[in-house]
Amino acid sequence: MLHPAWWTIDPCARFQLGPRIFPGRIWTASGCFAYGLTGHDMTSDDVASPYSGLGAVVTKTVTPLPRSGNPMPRLVETPHGALNSIGLENVGFEAFLAEVLPELEERGVPTVVSLAATNPGEFGAMAARLQECAGPLGCWHGVELNLSCPNVAEGGHDFGKDPRTVAQCVAAARSHLPDRALLAKLTPNVADIAGLARAAAEAGADAVSAVNTFVGLEVDLATGKPILPRRFGGYSGPALLPLALAKVDEIVSRTGVPVVGAGGIATAEDALKFFALGAVAVQVGTAQMRDPFTAARIARDLGKQG
Amino acid sequence: MLHPAWWTIDPCARFQLGPRIFPGRIWTASGCFAYGLTGHDMTSDDVASPYSGLGAVVTKTVTPLPRSGNPMPRLVETPHGALNSIGLENVGFEAFLAEVLPELEERGVPTVVSLAATNPGEFGAMAARLQECAGPLGCWHGVELNLSCPNVAEGGHDFGKDPRTVAQCVAAARSHLPDRALLAKLTPNVADIAGLARAAAEAGADAVSAVNTFVGLEVDLATGKPILPRRFGGYSGPALLPLALAKVDEIVSRTGVPVVGAGGIATAEDALKFFALGAVAVQVGTAQMRDPFTAARIARDLGKQG
Amino acid sequence: MNTPDPLPGAYQGIGRVTANRPVSSGLIRMDLVLARPLDFSPGQFAMLNLAGPSGMVFSRPFSILAADGQDVSFLYRVVGRGTAAFADLGPGAPVSFLGPLGRPFPARTPGQRAVLLAGGVGLPPLHDWLARHGRPGDLACFGAREGHDVPWNLLDERWTVCVEDPDGLDGHPAVTGLVTAPVAGPELPRGRDRILLLSCGPRLLLRAAADLAAAQDWECWLSLEEHMGCGYGVCKGCVVQVRVPGIPGSGPGSRNATCCQEGPVFRAEDLIWT
Amino acid sequence: MNTPDPLPGAYQGIGRVTANRPVSSGLIRMDLVLARPLDFSPGQFAMLNLAGPSGMVFSRPFSILAADGQDVSFLYRVVGRGTAAFADLGPGAPVSFLGPLGRPFPARTPGQRAVLLAGGVGLPPLHDWLARHGRPGDLACFGAREGHDVPWNLLDERWTVCVEDPDGLDGHPAVTGLVTAPVAGPELPRGRDRILLLSCGPRLLLRAAADLAAAQDWECWLSLEEHMGCGYGVCKGCVVQVRVPGIPGSGPGSRNATCCQEGPVFRAEDLIWT
Ligand SMILES: Cc1cc2nc3c(=O)[nH]c(=O)nc-3n(C[C@H](O)[C@H](O)[C@H](O)COP(=O)(O)OP(=O)(O)OC[C@H]3O[C@@H](n4cnc5c(N)ncnc54)[C@H](O)[C@@H]3O)c2cc1C
Ligand SMILES: Cc1cc2nc3c(=O)[nH]c(=O)nc-3n(C[C@H](O)[C@H](O)[C@H](O)COP(=O)(O)OP(=O)(O)OC[C@H]3O[C@@H](n4cnc5c(N)ncnc54)[C@H](O)[C@@H]3O)c2cc1C
Ligand SMILES: Cc1cc2nc3c(=O)[nH]c(=O)nc-3n(C[C@H](O)[C@H](O)[C@H](O)COP(=O)(O)O)c2cc1C
Ligand SMILES: Cc1cc2nc3c(=O)[nH]c(=O)nc-3n(C[C@H](O)[C@H](O)[C@H](O)COP(=O)(O)O)c2cc1C
Ligand code: FES
Ligand code: FES
C-alpha cells in the first residue's frame, strides 16, 4: 500500500538538485524544526533519530539582523490547521553563521539555509557571505529564499507576489552560489503561482518550494476581535493539503520547474501525493511540530527499506 | 456564550441590503441547497423546517443554457473539506424562470438568484429578463453574480479575477435591476480580493459574497492521478474557515464594501466570527449538504429568541 | 404498482446506538433508536454521520435494513474512515440520521415471481423486500466470498446462500458459485410479466443482473452506489446517466439523474453504464 | 544546586491508558504505560495527543505528576477540545507522548525551607517536588475553589488545603482563603537563603507569589503556562519576555525565552510580566 505500483523512487536515496547531491527527498520545512533540534536529544521506539533518512533540514529563516518576532499570541491552533504569526524570530545572519551553521555541520545535519531579506541586494549580500564563510562545509547543500513570509510588516508580504522581484532576488543570490542548490520559496497567495515559478527558474533557481502558508485569520469569540495582534497569520497544517497539491500541480504541469512540495504533509500517503504530481522532494512543516519524528517516519515508510 | 457581549444584531430580523429588505442574515450558499428543497419534505426534532429563520436561499447558479456539468467523479471528500467539480449542472435560465422561480415564490422561500455567464452582455440580458419575468415576485430579493466558479472551462476561472471584468458584469446587471439587491460573488484565488470588491461596489453592487471555493486537488493514491477528471476542483468546508475570514476581513477593513461571508460555516460560532469582522450576512454551503437544518439551526441559535 | 412512490418526508435527528455488533466476519449490524418512529420502503437509505463537530464532512449513505417504531437497523462493512468510526461506536453513542431517502424497490405486479440477488452489503433492501413482499416461489439469493462472511442469523430458509469458496460454512447449507448461479438454470420463465428481478450489491453483480434480465426479458430494478455529498438531491454530486426518450426525429438521448433522489433504485433499462 | 539541570533526552512514543478517572469534581487523573521507563524531574512536562490522524494539530502540554518505571501519570481539567477528547479515553487507548520536556523546579540549597503554592491543575510538579525533596518545616499549600474540587486522595497531611468557599469539605480539614493565605502571616523568615518559594497555577497566583517573594526577598521559581505549538523549542510560539543583564552603559534589556525549553519554570525575577 505504501508503495503503489506507480511509485518507483527511493526518497532516501541520493538525488541531484541543481549543482548539488542531496541525501534524500524528505525534508523538514523552514520554521517548524528550528535549526534542527537544539538542546534536546530525542528517542523513539521505532526510528533511531528525528534525522534518520532525512534529505535536508531547512533552517528557520534568518534575516540580516536578529529579530524578536511579533507580539504574543503568535501561534493559534484551529480545528484543521494552525495560524502563525511568529514574525521571523531569529538569531540574525551573523550569529547563524558563527554559531548555528558550524554546529549543524558538526552534527552532520544536511542543511538548506532559509534566508529572508527586504530587497535583492540584501539577498545577494547574504549569499555572498554564506559562500565565503561556509563554502567548505559539506552538510550545507543549498539556500532557500523565503520570498513569501506573510508575517513581516516591512514588505515581506507583497514582496514575493511580483515575478520581477522574485527574479531579481534569485538572480542576486545565484551569482554568489555556484555550487549549492538554490530554491525560491513561493507564496500561494497569488492568482498565478506558475508565473512566479517560471520567473524564479529563469533567474537561475534550481527549484521552487511550494507552498508557504496561506493568509488566514481566527476570531476570538469572547472579544469579537482577531486572536493574532496583527490580525492575519499564516495558515498551515492538514487543511492545506488539497490547496498545496493544486499549487504544486499548477507549477509542475504549466512550467516543468522542479518543485519541492510542502503543505499539510503529516503521513507517507500525504507525501506520496506530492510525488505523484511530480514533486522532486517534500517538506514536513506543522506535523513536525506535533511529533519530531514525523519526517523520519515518512522517510522510513517510503524508503526502499520501508 | 452564543450571544457574546459585542453581539447585538438579530440575524433573524429584517435588514436592508441595497434597495431590498431581506428577512434575515443567515443564508444558504449557492450550489449547496439546490433551488431549495425540491421533492423532499424535511422534519427534525428541534427546528420546524430547513427554512426556519433563513434570510435567503441562494439558488444553484443558472447559466443561459442548460448544463449537464462535468464528468464523474465530481465531488470528493477530503479529511477536512470537500472538493467539487460539479461544473454548474443546471436546468438553464429559461427553465429556471418558467418552473423554479415561480415554485420558490409559491413556497414563500426568500430567494437570491445566482447567475453565471461568459460575458457582461449575457449577464445584462439575464438580469433584464429576470426583471421582466419575475419583477412582481415578492420572494425574489436579489441576484448574486457568480464571477468565480473555478469549474467551468470556458472562461469561468480567470473571468472573475480581473477587476475590470467584474465591474463590467456588475454594471451590466445593475442597469436592469433597480429594486433588487445585487451581489457579486468573488473568487478567493487572487492576490487582491479587496480590489475585486472595490470594483464591484463602484460598478453598482450592493454587496459582495466572499468566498467561493479555493482551487484544490486530490490525488488517488492507487493511480497516482488526480481524482477529479479535470484535476482541479473547488475546495470548501471546515478547512476554509480561517482563509475565508481573512478574505472577508481584507475586504471589510480595506474597502468598507458590505460583505456576505461564506466559507466553512457549520455552527453558530463559525457564523459569529464572520459577523465579528463586519459581515452583513453569511451563507452556509458544504455544511448544509451534511444536514439540511444547519442554516436554520444557526439562525435559531443566533436569533434573539435563541 | 411499478411506478416508484413519491418521496416521503425525511427526518433529521440524532439516533442513539443500541447495538453495534458483527453478524459475520465482514459485516456489522448497527441498531439505532430515533426520537420518533420511522416509516420506510425497502431500498431507501439514510445518511449517517458522527454527531457534532467530529463528524465527517459528508454523511455516509446506508440502506435501511429494518425499522420498527423508533428502532432502525443497518448492516455495514468497514471500508474507510467513516465506517471505521462507526464501528467504534458503543451503546448510547449519538449518530446523526437523515432519512429515509431515495426511491425504493417496487413491489411486484400480480403474476410476477421475484428474483432477488443480493451481494454482501447489498443485502439490507432485499432482506426487507422479502420480509414484506415475499411469496412462495420467489428466489432470494445472497452471495458472499466464503462462509464466515455470511450473516447466517439474518437469513432464514427462504434465502439461498452462495459462496465462491466453500470454506467456513461450518455445516450451513450453501451453493458454491456466484450469487447469479441459482438463476442461470433454465427453470425460470422468460418475460417481464413473469419475473421481477431486483438486485443490490457490487457493480459486477448489477451488470450481470442487467444482462440476465435483458436476455430473459425480465423486469429488472437495480440499486446503485454512488459517492454522495448530500443524499437529498441538492449537490448534484451523485449523478448517473439515464436514457431519455428521443425527441421525434432524433435518436434517444441521455440525461443526468441523481442517484440519491431519482435512485438509488433504477430500472435496469434506463441505465447507461459507463 | 539552583541552576537548572541540562535538558535530558526526550522520548516520543505511544502510551496506553491504564486509568483515566476523576479524582475530584474538576480534576481527572490519567495514567499511561509507556514502552520504556521514564525519568523526569518535577516541573517537567510532556506533550500529549490522540494517536493517529484524529489527533489535534498541536499536542497539549501537561506537567508530569509522577512516573514509576514505564508508568506515568497526569492530572488535568477539561477546558477545551483536547482535554475533552482525553477525558473520553478508556483503558488501552493509545496516546501520543513526547517528554519529558522543559526545565524542572530546582532543588533547595542547604538551609532553605520550601514554600510550595499550587493552584488547581498546578499541583503535579509541586506534588512530585514535595515527594522527592520535602522536609519537615516545609509549607505546601494547595488551593481550590471549594471542597469538591480538592483531590483529597493525592494530598497527604503535609499539604495544607485552602478553599475559597468552605462548602463541600465533607469533614476534610482546610483553611478558608486563597492559597497564599497560610504564607501571609509573619512566621516565615525573610531572605533568599532562608525560603525557596515554588509556585504553579493560575497567573494571578504566580503574580501574587512573585510579589510575596519580592517583598520578603525569597528565592522564587514559577512554572508558566503558555500555549505551545511544539513543546520542544523549535516553533517559537511560546515565548515569554525575560530580563537580560544590561550592556555596560545602557540599562537592562529583555529577550524572548521559550516557555517550553528555557521554561516552563523560570526564576521570578527574570520574568517581565505583560
Ligand atoms: C444508496 C446507498 C446505500 C448503501 N448501503 C450500504 C449498506 O447498507 N451497507 C454498507 O456497508 N454500505 C452501503 N453503501 C456504501 C457505503 O455508503 C460506503 O461503504 C461508505 O460511504 C464508505 O464510507 P467510508 O468513510 O468508510 O469510506 P471512505 O472510502 O473513507 O469514504 C470516502 C468517501 O467515499 C464515499 N464512498 C466510499 N465508498 C462508497 C460506496 N461504496 N458507495 C458510496 N459512497 C462511497 C463515502 O461516502 C465518502 O464520501 C451504500 C451506498 C449507497 C450509495
Ligand atoms: C508547561 C505546562 C504544563 C501544564 N500542565 C497542566 C496540567 O498538569 N494539567 C492541566 O490540566 N493543564 C495543564 N496545562 C494546561 C494545558 O496544557 C491546557 O489546559 C490544555 O492545553 C488545553 O487544551 P484543550 O484542547 O482542552 O483546550 P483548547 O482551549 O481547546 O486548546 C486550544 C489551544 O490552546 C492551548 N491552551 C489552552 N489552554 C491552555 C493553557 N492553560 N496552557 C497552555 N496552552 C493552552 C492548547 O494547548 C491548544 O493549543 C499545562 C500547560 C503548560 C504550558
Ligand atoms: C510556526 C511556523 C513557522 C514558520 N516559519 C517559517 C519560516 O521561518 N520560513 C518559511 O519559509 N516558512 C515558515 N513556515 C512555513 C512552513 O515552512 C511551511 O511552508 C508551511 O507551514 C506549510 O507546510 P505545513 O502545512 O507542513 O506546515 C512556518 C510555518 C509554521 C507553522
Ligand atoms: C457541491 C458544491 C457546489 C457549489 N456550487 C456553486 C454554484 O453553483 N455557484 C456558486 O456561486 N458557488 C457554488 N459553490 C460554492 C459555495 O456556494 C460556497 O461559496 C463555498 O462552498 C464555500 O462555502 P462552504 O465552505 O460553506 O461550502 C458550490 C460548493 C459546493 C460544495
Ligand atoms: S448526493 Fe447530493 S444530489 Fe445526490
Ligand atoms: S512551543 Fe514551540 S518553541 Fe515552545
How far CA A103 is from CA of A61, A108, A130, D75, in Å, comes to 17, 8, 15, 38
Q: Best mutation site among A78, A83, A219 for testing chain B: the one with the most B CBs within 10 Å?
A: A219
Catalytic one of B12, B133, B139, B149: B149
Give the Å distance between the CA of A9 and the centre of ligand 3: 26
How far CA B238 is from CA of B27, B79, B288, C94, in Å, comes to 17, 10, 12, 21
Residues of C in contact with B84 (CB under 8 A): 229, 235, 237
- Residue D244: strand pairing partners: D253
Interface contact flag, B4 A222, Cβ < 8 Å: yes
Question: For residue B295, is it within any domain?
Answer: yes
Q: Best mutation site among C58, C70, C234 for testing chain B: the one with the most B CBs within 10 Å?
A: C234
Answer yes or no: is the C-beta of D237 below 6 A from any ligand 6 atom. yes
* pLDDT of D186 higher than 90: no
Question: For residue A10, is it within any domain?
Answer: no
A139 is catalytic: no
Give the Å distance between the CA of A291 and the centre of ligand 6: 12
CATH assignment of D11-101? Answer: 2.40.30.10
Nearest CA in chain B to C13: B44
Identify which ligand lies nearest to the alpha carbon of D120: 2
Question: In this structure, which residue's CA is closest to atom 29 in ligand 4?
Answer: B31
Question: For residue B106, is it within any domain?
Answer: yes
Closest CB to C57 among B34, B44, B238:
B238
Question: For residue A146, is it within any domain?
Answer: yes
pLDDT of residue D6: 46
Q: Average of pLDDT values for A243-265?
A: 98
pLDDT of residue C187: 82
**3-state SS of C166-200?**
CCCCCCCCCEECCCCHHHHCCCCCCCCCCEEEEEE
Stated pTM of the model: 0.96
pLDDT in tens, A172-192: 999 999 999 999 999 999 999
Q: Is the dihedral of CA A46, A48, A50, A55 positive or negative?
A: negative
Which helix (H) or strand (E) segment holds residue A166: the answer is helix A163-174
Closest CB to D227 among A39, A73, A86:
A73
Question: For residue A123, is it within any domain?
Answer: yes
Give the Å distance between the CA of A82 and the centre of ligand 6: 14
Q: Average of pLDDT values for B232-239?
A: 97
Interface contact flag, A40 D232, Cβ < 8 Å: yes
Indicate the pLDDT class of residue A150, thresholds 50, 70 and 90.
low
Tell me the three state secondary structure of residue D249: coil
Question: For residue A2, is it within any domain?
Answer: no
Query: Shortest CA distance to B167 belongs to which of B100, B257, B228, B35?
Result: B257
Nearest-angstrom CA–CA distance, B191 and B208: 17
Reported for C51-54, long-range contacts at CB under 8 A and 24+ positions apart, including other chains, are C51/C14, C51/C94, C51/C95, C51/C96, C52/C94, C53/A79, C53/B266, C53/B267, C54/D54
Tell me the three state secondary structure of residue C243: strand
How many separate domains does chain B show?
Answer: 1
Nearest-angstrom CA–CA distance, A113 and A56: 10
Query: Shortest CA distance to D270 belongs to which of D253, D249, D248, D251?
Result: D253
Identify which ligand lies nearest to the alpha carbon of C57: 1
Atom of ligand 1 nearest to the CA of C78: 26
Residues of A in contact with B194 (CB under 8 A): none
Supply D27's cell numbers.
480534576
Pocket test for ligand 5, best of C228, C262, C265 (most atoms within 8 A of CB): C228
pLDDT of residue A149: 63
* pLDDT of D42 higher than 80: yes
Pocket test for ligand 4, best of B114, B143, B286, B294 (most atoms within 8 A of CB): B286
pLDDT in tens, A29-46: 999 999 887 667 899 999
pLDDT 10s digit of each residue in chain C, 274 long? 233 344 568 999 999 999 999 999 999 999 999 999 999 999 999 999 999 878 999 999 999 999 999 999 999 999 999 999 999 999 999 999 999 999 999 999 999 999 999 999 999 999 999 999 999 999 999 999 999 999 999 999 999 999 999 888 888 998 998 998 888 776 889 999 999 999 999 999 999 999 999 999 999 999 999 999 999 999 999 999 999 876 666 666 889 999 999 999 999 999 998 8
Nearest-angstrom CA–CA distance, D152 and D23: 8
Maximum separation of any 2 CA atoms in chain A, in Å: 55
Query: Shortest CA distance to A234 belongs to which of A83, A87, A78?
Result: A83
* Amino acid letter, A10: D
Which residues touch B192 (CB under 8 Å, ≥6 apart)?
A: none
Interface contact flag, C98 B292, Cβ < 8 Å: yes
pLDDT of residue D5: 44
pLDDT of residue C8: 63
The least confident of A282-286, B282-286, D180-184 is: D180-184
Question: For residue A7, is it within any domain?
Answer: no
Indicate the pLDDT class of residue A145, thresholds 50, 70 and 90.
very high
Q: What is the CATH number of the domain that holds A91?
A: 3.20.20.70
Closest CB to B191 among A191, A218, A240:
A191
Q: How large a percentage of chain B has pLDDT more than 90?
A: 88
Closest CB to B277 among A189, A214, A219:
A219
Q: Average of pLDDT values for A66-90?
A: 95
Q: Average of pLDDT values for D46-70?
A: 95
Answer yes or no: is the C-beta of D234 below 6 A from any ligand 6 atom. yes
Q: Is the dihedral of CA B62, B63, B67, B73 positive or negative?
A: negative
- How far apart, in Å, do the first and last CA atoms of chain B sit? 11
Interface contact flag, C256 B68, Cβ < 8 Å: yes
Which structural domain, as residue segments, surrounds residue B177?
15-303
Answer yes or no: is the C-beta of A303 below 6 A from any ligand 3 atom. no
- Residue C267: strand pairing partners: C221
pLDDT in tens, D129-149: 999 999 999 999 999 999 999
Residue ranges covered by each domain of chain D? 11-101
